[in-house]
Amino acid sequence: MKIELRNYCKTIRSAEVLRNVTCTFESGVCYGLYGVNGSGKTMLMRAVAGLIRPTSGEILTDGRPGSALGRVGLLLENPSFLDSMTGLENLLLLAKIQNKVGEKEVREAISLLGLDPDDKRKYRKYSLGMKQRLGIAAAVMEDPPVVLLDEPFNALDRAGATTVEALIRSLKERQKLILLACHERGVLDELSDELFLVENGKVTLYDAKRKE
């Protein structure tokens, strides 16, 4: 899959949150997004996911106008689920929206992130780290071709971070298109093939480590 942003601009309440962004993202590559809070990283992910539309410019998926909406798994900002339901119940409810996967796949995704799908605790009893793991499980449970992870290491202990790092490497090996935003430059250097610098809504290629 190839996603292209061409002169993409987005203005919200007179504030230009994305400024003339032109870049290309392809399957099998992990793209790191580096920048301070409020620089536009999350907004760029929203654009790629089709959650916002450009004020001007365009987005193309495999050469056709439009985003990859419906084919994207994403963790944006802080995950939020229904407090009165278990982790499994929450993800099963989400899975019903598109009916792409059943309970087997949902359970596998929860286990993959180091959680117990049979844990009877309600979501409100989850620790911050458990909530983060569940949010990532929700992003990958339908095996989407595009995975967007916004600060996925927030609230994770070392074991959780190692699990997520292994997941990202596995996704890349399986030819997923990955966008990874992280405030830790060392993590981005380790996991990403190309690093984009995001500043004041502008996106520039900072470092390309792929060998063509």
The pLDDT value recorded for residue 79 is 87
The pLDDT value recorded for residue 78 is 83
Region 90-116 average pLDDT? 97
The pLDDT value recorded for residue 74 is 96
DSSP output for the chain: -EEEEEEEEEEETTEEEEEEEEEEEETT-EEEEE--TTSSHHHHHHHHHTSS--SEEEEEETTEES--TTSEEEE-SS----TTSBHHHHHHHHHHHHT---HHHHHHHHHHTT--TT---BGGG--HHHHHHHHHHHHHTT--SEEEEESTTTT--HHHHHHHHHHHHHHHHTT-EEEEE-S-HHHHHHH-SEEEEEETTEEEEEEE----
Band of residue 77 on the pLDDT scale cut at 50, 70, 90: confident
CA separation for the pair 13, 24 (Å, rounded): 27
Q: Please say if the pLDDT value at position 209 is more than 80.
A: no
> What is this structure's pTM?
0.94
Region 136-152 average pLDDT? 98
Region 168-179 average pLDDT? 98
The pLDDT value recorded for residue 211 is 42
Q: Please say if the pLDDT value at position 179 is more than 90.
A: yes
Band of residue 60 on the pLDDT scale cut at 50, 70, 90: very high
Domain extent listing, the chain: 1-71+145-212, 82-144
CATH architecture of 1-71+145-212: 3-Layer(aba) Sandwich (3.40)
